């Protein structure tokens, strides 16, 4: 969908007056819905709906051998699939660039030990570790993909249940793991510091968060900020324009503020989720 000049000017004026197309202010988010534990085969899953954007994340874990240079760490990998359900542009290899960008940004955001501790995924140093596959499926694109994906990933990782390993039998080079037989005897992952991403778009002279599809087309430049706890875990400039240094600083401040609010809201929602709830779109 491409906008004509008049529509772009209309959006611009709205942003300047702090009253966007749908009546939001510059720092407001659209309504979100979150469900967890919906995919039966996955160890953890979440679905986030941010107005028209729909993201489904499933987490699967497998046992793997750690990297020789990092023998005490487990592995975490992100895969993003832009399904053709979202837009016909994603048919075949159309959505690959976007998918690679989102996956790379997530890897960059989760790389630091303070954001996500991979040593907790180690079972036996140098021999066995957990490998966490995070598969992200974009069901619908309604603008602001990075935010929706990061929130859904954080919720899915929070929901993930890692089976407990009770013992290890080592027989020469043969290693046998005694994994707990009980279904609910699991560990949870520590996602307290997992990063939350915020997209800050510059339209005209002002910066907004949570752009819709129309607003994304009007933006001159945008940055994606991943905030973990109090610090920036990754900052990436996206979009086709360049920014003035003052705009960059302002966007970073705005992103920081909004990300912390978003994180609080997410935790409030996650705490309300009780196990065994019978509500959800795949239930």
**Which CB atom, from 69 or from 171, has the smaller least distance to other proteins?**
69
50-89 binders of other proteins (CB under 8 A): 68-69
- Closest contact distance (angstroms) between CB of 34 and other proteins is 26
**In DSSP terms, which residues pair with 122 in a beta bridge?**
129
**In DSSP terms, which residues pair with 58 in a beta bridge?**
45, 135
- Would you count residue 241 as binding other proteins (CB under 8 A)? yes
> What is the C-alpha separation between 138 and 85, in angstroms, rounded?
8
- Closest contact distance (angstroms) between CB of 94 and other proteins is 11
- Would you count residue 209 as binding other proteins (CB under 8 A)? no
- Would you count residue 5 as binding other proteins (CB under 8 A)? no
**Which CB atom, from 39 or from 99, has the smaller least distance to other proteins?**
99
Residue 119 CA neighbour count, 13 Å, CB half: 4
* Pairing of the two strands 128-140 and 75-82: parallel
| Tokens encoding 37 | 């534990």
- Would you count residue 112 as binding other proteins (CB under 8 A)? yes
Residue from 237, 281, 282, 283 that binds other proteins (CB under 8 A)?
237
Cα first-last separation, the chain: 34
> What is the C-alpha separation between 112 and 255, in angstroms, rounded?
19
Interface segment toward other proteins; rule CB under 8 A; list 33-41, 111-119, 170-178, 199-207? 111-119
* DSSP strands (E only) in 68-205: 75-82, 122-124, 128-140, 161-163, 165-171, 174-179, 186-188, 196-203
Q: What is the largest CA-CA distance in the chain?
A: 74
> What is the C-alpha separation between 73 and 96, in angstroms, rounded?
29
**Which CB atom, from 78 or from 158, has the smaller least distance to other proteins?**
78
- Would you count residue 114 as binding other proteins (CB under 8 A)? yes
**Which CB atom, from 103 or from 262, has the smaller least distance to other proteins?**
103
- Would you count residue 232 as binding other proteins (CB under 8 A)? yes
Q: Which residue has the tokens 């996206």?
A: 238
- Would you count residue 101 as binding other proteins (CB under 8 A)? yes
Residues that bind other proteins (CB under 8 A): 2, 68-69, 100-101, 103-104, 107-108, 111-115, 223, 228-238, 240-245, 248-249, 252-253, 256
């Amino acid at each position: 969908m491409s906008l004509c000049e008049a529509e772009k000017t209309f959006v611009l004026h709205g942003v300047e007056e702090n009253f966007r197309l749908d009546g939001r202010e510059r720092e407001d988010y659209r309504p979100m819905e979150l469900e967890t534990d919906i995919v039966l085969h996955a160890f953890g899953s979440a679905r986030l709906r941010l107005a028209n954007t729909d993201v489904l994340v499933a987490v699967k874990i497998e046992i793997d051998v750690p990297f020789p240079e990092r023998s005490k760490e487990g592995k975490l990998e992100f895969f993003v699939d832009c399904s053709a359900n979202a837009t016909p542009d994603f048919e075949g290899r159309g959505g690959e660039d976007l998918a690679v960008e989102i996956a790379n940004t997530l890897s960059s955001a989760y790389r630091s030990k303070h954001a996500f501790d991979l040593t907790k995924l180690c079972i036996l140093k140098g021999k066995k570790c957990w490998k966490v596959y995070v598969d992200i499926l974009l069901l619908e694109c309604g603008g602001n993909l990075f935010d929706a994906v990061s929130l859904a990933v954080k919720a899915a990782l929070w929901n993930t249940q890692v089976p407990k390993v009770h013992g290890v039998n080592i027989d020469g080079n043969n290693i046998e793991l005694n994994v707990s037989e009980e279904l609910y005897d699991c560990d949870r992952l520590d996602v307290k510091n997992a990063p939350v991403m915020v997209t800050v778009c510059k339209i005209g002279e002002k910066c907004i968060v949570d752009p819709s599809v129309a607003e994304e087309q009007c933006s001159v430049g945008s940055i994606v900020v991943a905030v973990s706890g109090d610090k920036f875990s990754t900052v990436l400039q996206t979009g086709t324009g360049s920014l003035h240094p003052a705009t960059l600083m302002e966007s970073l401040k705005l992103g920081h503020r909004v990300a912390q609010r978003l994180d609080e809201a997410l935790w409030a929602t996650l705490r309300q989720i009780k196990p065994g709830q019978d509500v959800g779109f795949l239930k």
